[in-house]
Amino acid sequence: MFRYLACFSLLLNLLACSKGQQTAEDYQWLEHVDGKAAIAWVDANNSETDARLGKSALYQSLYQQALAVISSPERLPSIHQKGEYVYNLWQDAEHPRGLYRRSLASDFIAKSPVWQTVIDLDALSAAENKQWVFKGLNCLAPEYRHCLMSLSEGGGDTIEVREFNAETLRFVAQGFNLAAAKTNIDWIDENQVYLGTDFGADSQTNSGYPRQVRLWSRGTPFTDAKLLYSADKTSVSASGHRYKDGQYSVDIITDATTFWESRYHLLVNGELSDIALPPSATINDFIKGQLLVSLKQEWQFNGRIFPEGAVLLIRPQALVTPEKAAAHDITLLIEPSTEFIVEELHTSPRGIIAIGLVDVKAQARLYTSINGAWRFEALDLPSVGSLSIETIDQKSGAFFARFEDFLTPPSLYYIDTNLKSQLVAAQAASFDASQFKVEQFFANSVDGTRVPYFAVMKKDIEFNGKNPTHIFSYGGFRVSLKPSYSGSYEDLNGAYGKLWLERGGVFVLANIRGGGEYGPAWHSAVLLENRHKAYEDFEAVAQDLTNKKITSAKHLGIEGRSNGGLLVAATMVRHPELYGAVISGVPLLDMQRYHTLLAGASWMAEYGNPDIESNWQWLKAYSPFQNVGADQHYPPILFYTSTKDDRVHPGHARKMAAKMKAQGHSVEYYENREGGHGGSSTKEQLAKRIALGYTLLWQTLP
C-alpha cells in the first residue's frame, strides 16, 4: 500500500510540475483544503514520512517519552476561576478530548480538590459523531450561571456556540445558540449579548471575521439582532464588549481596522460616539470608572505628551469630548522604563496587577489607589523566569499566579487578600534538571542591536563545536518568548527536557525582534520593509553559537511555528549553510498569496500587501516559496500542519513541500487531519508531532 501511495505522490508531483522550471500556479491545486487530489497528496506524503521517520526504534522511544511527559497525571493544567469554582480542561488516556471540570476554589487552595465533570468532550463527540475541541466557557459575572460554551470541530477557529447553564450543567435548548462560524459574542446581561457572526452575504471582512456588531436579545432569531455597527470589509474584525468594575460599566464597540490599529466607539443609549484614542492604543480593561489603556506609540493629548509604552487610566467621557477634558481625567499609571517592560495587565477589586519583563525575566506589581493617588508594591513571587496571572477572584481580589522556568516545573501560587502567597500546586519534574544550567547570552545583529538568547545545557558541557543544538524562535506579532518548562502547556518546543537535553542536546530560546520582550519598539523595528531584521537577528544568534563553539552549522537544528515557521524557512533559504536541520510548523510560506488565503489579509499590517508593487519588492526578497531553488543545498526539513487549520492555510506547507521535493531536496511532511492552528487536538497527536521532529533532529545533527 505504501509503495502505491508513494508512486501516486510522485505522479501527482509530475502532473502538477512537469519537467523543467515550475511556476507558482503549478501548485495552487494544493490549496483546495479538502480536494480529492490534495488529500491524496497529503496521505501519500504522510505515509512516506511515517515510513522514513515513524517506523524507527528511535521514533518509538521518543513518542513514548513525549506521550508520558505531556500526559503525566501530575502535570499542571491551566485554571480559570468563575465565582466559587475553579475550572480546567483535563485530558488523559481515557479522555483524549478532555473533561472540562471544576472544583470549589476553597478545596483547591487547601490542596484537596474534588473535581466535578462539567462536560465530557469525548462523550459529546461520540454522541454527536463529531471531533469536538473545547474552546472556552464565557460566564456572566457575578453569578457565573449563564454561560456561552465554544466548541470547534477539529480544533479550528470556526466555533459553534451553545448556551450552557452552570447550575444544571446542561445546554440551554432555546438559548443563545449559533451554528459553526467565526464568531464574536459577549454578554451584556442575562438576556442580551453583543454578536458578530456570519449573517450571510457581505457580513464578514476580507479576513473572514465578523464585520458587524449586533445586539441579540433572548428569544429572538439571531438574524433579527439589531445592527449597531458595521466595519469596512478591509478591517480585520469588529466586536462589542461591556466592561464592568463592580460599580460602573461601559460599552465599547471596537473596529480592528488592521491587526495593530483600532477605532473605538462608546455606546450610550444606543448612540455611538467616537473615542479620541490613537489607533495603536489598546483598551485593556475598566476599573474605578476609568479605562485602562496601554500606548504603543507616543500620544499628544490636550497639550500633554504621553510616551510610547505608557499605561494610562482615562475617564471615557474625556475621550468623547476632549475639549472639555481636565488634567485629572487622565492618570499616567506606568511610565515606560527598561526596568519594567509591561507584559500583562489585569484588573481586580484590589487594584491593577502588572507583570513586567527585565531582559526577559519577570516581576509582578500591584497598583492600588489611596485617596485617588496610585502607588505600587512588588509582589512576593518568584522571578528570573516566566510569571503570569492565571486567574482572579473578581469578588475578593485574591488571585492565582503561575511560575516556571527552563529547569523549574510549573508552580501555582495563591495570593490572598493580604497579599500573602502560598504554593498550592506544582507539576512533578519531567526530567532530571540537576545536571543542567541556563545561561543568557547576547548576539550582535547586523545593525548592532543586542539580541538576547537563553541556552540550556549540561553543566559539564565542552564548547567544542559538536553539541547538537536546537533553536526555537518566533519573532513577530509582539509575542514574547519566555522561559518555559519542558512539557508544560507553555512549552511550544515539545518535551525537550526528556527528548533533547537528557540525550545530550543543547536547547536555545532566541528572543529576536518582532516580539514584545523590550516593549512596542522591539516589535515595530521589524514591521513591513524591515522584516529582514528579524531574520538577521536569528542568524546572529546562530552565528554566535558557532563563534562560542557551543555548536556548529552541521549540528544546529532550528524550529518555529506559524510566523516562526516562516522565520525558519526564510532564514534557511537565505543562509542554508548556517543550519543542519529545520522544522517548520503550521507556517505561512507563500508571501505572494498569503493575504488571499483564510485569515491572511488580517496580517498585512505586519508583513505588507503583496498587491502593492513596493510592498512586493520587500516580500519577494524573503518569501520562502518564491526563493527556494533547485540549485541550492538545503538542510533536511520537516513541515507539519493541520487540515483543520483555518487560520494559516495548510496550502502553504503543502506547496512548499511539493516544490522542494520536485527540486530534489530532503523533505518530510506531516499533516494532521485535525488540530486547527495548534496542529493537534489530543495528546497522542501532539506526541506524534513532537517525536517526528526530534527524530529528524537526532538522525541529522549528531
Largest CA distance in the chain: 78
What does DSSP assign to residue 428? P
* CB 597, CB 653: distance < 8 Å: no
What is the pairing mode between strands 469-472 and 556-561?
A: parallel
CA distances from 601 to 23, 69, 212, 236 (A): 23, 37, 18, 8
Task: Write down the catalytic residue from 562, 584, 602, 680.
Answer: 562
Residue 562 appears among annotated catalytic residues: yes
What is the pairing mode between strands 637-642 and 667-672?
A: parallel
Query: 3-class secondary structure for 36-70?
Result: HHHHHHHHHHHHHHHHHHHCCHHHHHHHHHHHHHH
C-alpha cell recorded at residue 361? 525575566
Residue 161's nearest CA partner among 141, 145, 184, 130 is: 184
What phi, psi does 326 have (nearest 5°)? Answer: -105, 165
How far apart CA 437 and CA 430 sit, in angstroms, is 16
How far apart CA 281 and CA 296 sit, in angstroms, is 6
Residue 331's nearest CA partner among 287, 268, 282 is: 287
Residue tagged 432555546 (cell numbers): 174
* CB 447, CB 438: distance < 8 Å: no
271-280: list long-range contacts, CB under 8 Å, 24+ apart: 272/228, 272/229, 273/320, 274/320, 275/316, 275/319, 275/320, 276/301, 276/319, 276/320, 276/322, 277/319, 280/520
CA distances from 376 to 373, 379, 397, 480 (A): 10, 9, 16, 24
* CB 190, CB 176: distance < 8 Å: no
What phi, psi does 148 have (nearest 5°)? Answer: -120, 115
> Helix, strand or coil for residue 12?
helix
Which residues, in sequence order, are bridge partners of residue 441? 453
* CB 457, CB 466: distance < 8 Å: no
How far apart CA 295 and CA 283 sit, in angstroms, is 9
Residue tagged 514584545 (cell numbers): 516
Q: What is the DSSP string of 553-604?
A: GGGEEEEEETHHHHHHHHHHHH-GGG-SEEEEES----TTTGGGSGGGGGGH
Residue 47 appears among annotated catalytic residues: no
CA angle 495, 412, 380 (to 5 degrees): 125
Q: How many angstroms separate the first and last alpha carbons of the chain?
A: 33
Catalytic residue ranges: 562, 677
